[in-house]
Structure 1
């Protein structure tokens, strides 16, 4: 199996309230809106969007990643409003070890309403079925309590604190490691 065999065409995944689909240029306003929220960006590795160009640049990066058939996230679209409310997906895949890491971000008005758990359930199922994963990992900053709760709801186990594991925004951060085993 090769990455491009699975990610050469990112399929649309559908849940009760969401469409998970490739990011498009039309998502720029929605991405800028949540990306410019400093409360949201406290917990991510990237800086708060200062201008719409920040969203445009990230979208261009994602579009090139899609074109190359590489691991890339889905846009999370709220079916009711039609708005893009975040991204979620695989950020790293070790094919030989049947292991991958997931990451996600969600607009603050959608926090604590089960949207990310719903999106991630579909993404984890995709990993089990299409990527043939044995182990799915996720990391979050210790102060990001909501993200830890999402991972626990998904059945992932806390495996430990990785001290000074991540360098982002000019400093080192501890991160919590979670993992789920897809089958015994």
Structure 2
């Protein structure tokens, strides 16, 4: 499938909502501020993130504004991972760094610690991947994680990503230099997991 990714994003009639068995990926809203702050302010959830935990609710408000603005500019799709029944924010799943020429993007995700170990991140990322290959016509999706984050590593491998190398001391987080491991998934390798 060919075509300009940015044109496809611009042609979307609205922020896409993706629904799975237990989660829904939806547009960020101002009433998500407490959920976003609970997630990005939690040192445990942010242990392997590329920035320090948030310290104020105002930072969460700014993050939500940035998420909405990035979509308006066609630069990113920052979904809120919401519980399908309650619609309560549990995390985020993001497609970003779109490269139209090479038909690729990056995926990132974060989930509140109360929801770890239940397969919810896998379900959310699967929805985003399926949509990105089908709707945007991406050829490749990349992810980079802190290699010490074993649960995230297992999630990517389970979804079909391949580890493609280690970038040493790529980020400084709280004064500590951390490594980054790059993963890649090609469209022809994607097979949506059976639920």
Q: Partner of 2:60: helix, strand, or coil?
A: helix
Q: Distance in 2 between matches of 1:134 and 1:63?
A: 25
Q: Following TM superposition, by how much is the alpha carbon of 1:49 offset from its aligned partner in structure 2, in angstroms?
A: 1.6
Unpaired runs of at least 5, structure 2: 190-195
The superposition leaves residues 35-85 of structure 1 with CA deviations (integer Å, 9 ceiling, x where unpaired) of 221111111122212121111111111122222232231110011332101
TM-score, reference length from structure 2: 0.87
Task: State which of 110, 125, 128 in structure 2 corresponds to 1:105.
Answer: 110
Number of equivalences = 184
**Is the deviation greater in 8-17 or in 141-150?**
8-17
1:3 aligns with 2:12: no
- Cα root mean square deviation, aligned: 1.6
Q: Specify the alignment match of 1:37 in structure 2.
A: 42
Q: Specify the alignment match of 1:82 in structure 2.
A: 87
Q: Following TM superposition, by how much is the alpha carbon of 1:2 offset from its aligned partner in structure 2, in angstroms?
A: 4.4
TM-score, reference length from structure 1: 0.92
Q: Specify the alignment match of 2:157 in structure 1.
A: 152
